[in-house]
Amino acid sequence: MTRPLLCLALFAGLLPAAAFSAETRVALDTPMAPPAWAVLERQLLADNVPACREFFQKYYDDRGYLKCFVRWGANDGPDDAFENFNHWPELSALGAKDEILQMYLKAWEGMIKQYNEAKTVDVPAGRGGMYYRDFSAQSDWMHHGEGMQNFNRMGLNVPTLPIYQERAKRFASFYMGEDAEAANYDPKLKLIRSMINGSRGPLLRKATALDWVGDPFDPEGYGLVHGEHTYAQFLQHYEEYGDVVGDHFLNLVATTLPTDAYLLKNEPKYKQWIVGYMDAWLERMKENHGIIPSNVGLDGKIGSTDGKWWGGAYGWGFSPVNPVSNRRENRNRIPRALVGFNNALLVTGDQKYVDAWRTMMDAVNANARTVDGKKEYPTMYGADGWYGWQSQPWNVGALEVWYWSMKPSDLARAGGQGGWLGYLQGKDDTYPEAALKRDLENIPRRVAMIRADQTAPEKRLADNQLNYNPATMGSLVQLMLGGLPPSVDGGLLNARLRYFDPVGKRAGVPEDVGALVSELTDTGTTVTLVNLSKTEMRTVVVQAGAYGEHQIESMEVNGRSMPLNGRTFTVQLKPGAGGTIKLKMHRFANAPTINFPWDRNG
């Protein structure tokens, strides 16, 4: 079944794909012996499908509902239910068979309905539905981001799906001051009014342990994966999570929702909101000696809620007691804030957002100390100053900063000597095969876990099978796309290239095609494409950037250079043929778009 027919079977009104004619075409007709990496890529794409099918059939019913004991809570709540499909959108966008998308879309719609229907008794925010208007009623953006990550990447596959487009705009409105019922945003002070927010608006009081944990229940017989054994321990775990009023760096993940909406048609209001909100945070960082604060009061002043720039749950000074170990654990969730800087860079192309994060790394590491002749670097800040010392410099976001800047100095900070980074520098030619084999070995391990799971559905929590999800695509994103495998934080895809099948009218490489990105620089990309079929020609559209945000200035094929000046080109691969293409690029030169090449102009 083709992608448009597949989606029509699930939703009414899918917009038809327009005819597509690429302005630049390249023919690769040189015979190429099947590279081991290409054979492994095709096997990995293929092996994911039956494994994911087995997962879906075991843990979801005919409605697409998750078969579990439905609860509200940070441990095992709605976000975990939606996380069960982590990496399925990326697999589909890479070229895995349509069945992956079919199962994923059915489960997404099923769970939306399931959690709209599910209600709490004691937790105030969930009494009218744990989900409300198809979105989490109230939560923090560590958990919102985890639960929304697959929606945020859904557009990689079905950008013209009406329900996706409508939700993208509606969800953005919850955070842009456009929805009176979800008054999360203060447009004058450019702040999100609470760390806990959602489709029912912000929580403007201290959060209770009940708000975090969910209604009382007897956990006996359930698979508890967070260490607690009793409901009382659940409550004890969240006793110190009360400080939520005011803006928090976790809320920067919320910028993904207006970014989703901006990617549809580049409507200026979405970009303006992202830039306005992010620039307000850059000003706060500048005011706070280069370091992003974790509490901004409702008056717009840093730390005015409690006098602590480092305050708030999940903030710089957040080290609550774990009731199981009776020890304090450092739980600064600053890595999630990277999402906002990424979104701002994507929609503007302005490196000032990358510079700000780099400056913060330097500012934190400037507080290093020497103990017994050894240098130590801080990771936390509290009432007594810096703490959470470690032997290595604080490098949160170092990989992302290099990927966005492509500066040699940032590569050194990111540790570019081994693994994927070493491969890109020409230091490890064995990496592609080794990485693909590791990912292939993961799939049967996960399938064995699925088959061994004898938990009754009524005793299964939403997070019990998260680690059984067999979808594996990290090496494919690195090697095929020249990209960063998406994390659970709720951000979008970072990729130097993407591929589309103009015959099947879908995202991803066509059947039999392999792709290997072997070099990334500020202005260049090298990719090898091959057709493993011995009898069929394949055609693939290559796009610069996950969302067409980059521009290709020229390309070199078989020693011949030609101008391009566009964001896409088409390659025709004869049976058993392949070749290497070197691209000269201008990164972040275009307004990003989620639309497929044949559904847009340029």
* 30, 577 Cβ separation under 8 angstroms: yes
Structure token digits, residue 267 = 């409507």
**Residue 161 CB-half CA count within 13 A:** 24
Domain ranges of the chain: 497-599
Q: What's the one-letter identity of residue 27?
A: A
The pLDDT value given to residue 305 = 82
- Helix 256-265 with 268-287: angle, nearest 10 deg: 150
Q: Do the strands 191-192 and 131-132 form a parallel or antiparallel pair, or are they unpaired?
A: unpaired
Which residues, other chains included, contact 487 with Cβ-Cβ below 8 Å and sequence gap of 6+?
A: none
Q: How far apart are CA 84 and CA 477, in angstroms?
A: 19
Q: What's the one-letter identity of residue 8?
A: L
Instruction: Please report the DSSP string for 356-418 in residue order.
Output: HHHHHHHHHHTT-EEETTEEEB--EEETTEEE--BSS---TTHHHHHHHH--HHHHHHHTTTS
Structure token digits, residue 589 = 């030169």
Question: Residue 272 burial (CB < 10 Å; 0-12/13-18/19+)?
Answer: middle
The pLDDT value given to residue 16 = 32
Residue with tokens 């069945």: 99
Q: How far apart are CA 172 and CA 181, in angstroms?
A: 13
- Tell which residue, 269, 250, 102, 33, has the closest CA to residue 173: 269
Structure token digits, residue 422 = 């070493």
- Tell which residue, 245, 387, 379, has the closest CA to residue 312: 245
CATH code matching the domain that covers 497-599, chosen among 3.40.1280.10, 2.60.40.1180, 3.40.50.1000, 2.40.170.20: 2.60.40.1180
* 467, 453 Cβ separation under 8 angstroms: no
* 440, 40 Cβ separation under 8 angstroms: yes
pLDDT, averaged in runs of 10, over the chain (602 residues): 36 33 82 98 98 98 98 95 97 98 97 98 98 98 97 97 98 98 98 98 98 96 90 96 98 98 98 98 98 98 92 98 95 98 98 98 98 97 98 97 97 90 96 98 98 96 96 98 97 98 97 98 98 98 98 94 95 98 98 96 69
Indicate the pTM of the whole model: 0.95
The pLDDT value given to residue 14 = 29
Question: What phi, psi does 87 have (nearest 5°)?
Answer: 80, -5
Q: How far apart are CA 106 and CA 336, in angstroms?
A: 28
The pLDDT value given to residue 226 = 87
Which pLDDT tens digit goes with each residue over 251-303?
999 999 999 999 999 999 999 999 999 999 999 999 999 999 999 999 999 99
Structure token digits, residue 483 = 């990209």
Q: How far apart are CA 244 and CA 138, in angstroms?
A: 12
Q: Do the strands 196-197 and 139-140 form a parallel or antiparallel pair, or are they unpaired?
A: antiparallel
* 23, 515 Cβ separation under 8 angstroms: no
CA angle 463, 466, 467 (to 5 degrees): 130
Q: How far apart are CA 377 and CA 394, in angstroms?
A: 6
The pLDDT value given to residue 395 = 96
Beta partners for 185?
A: 192
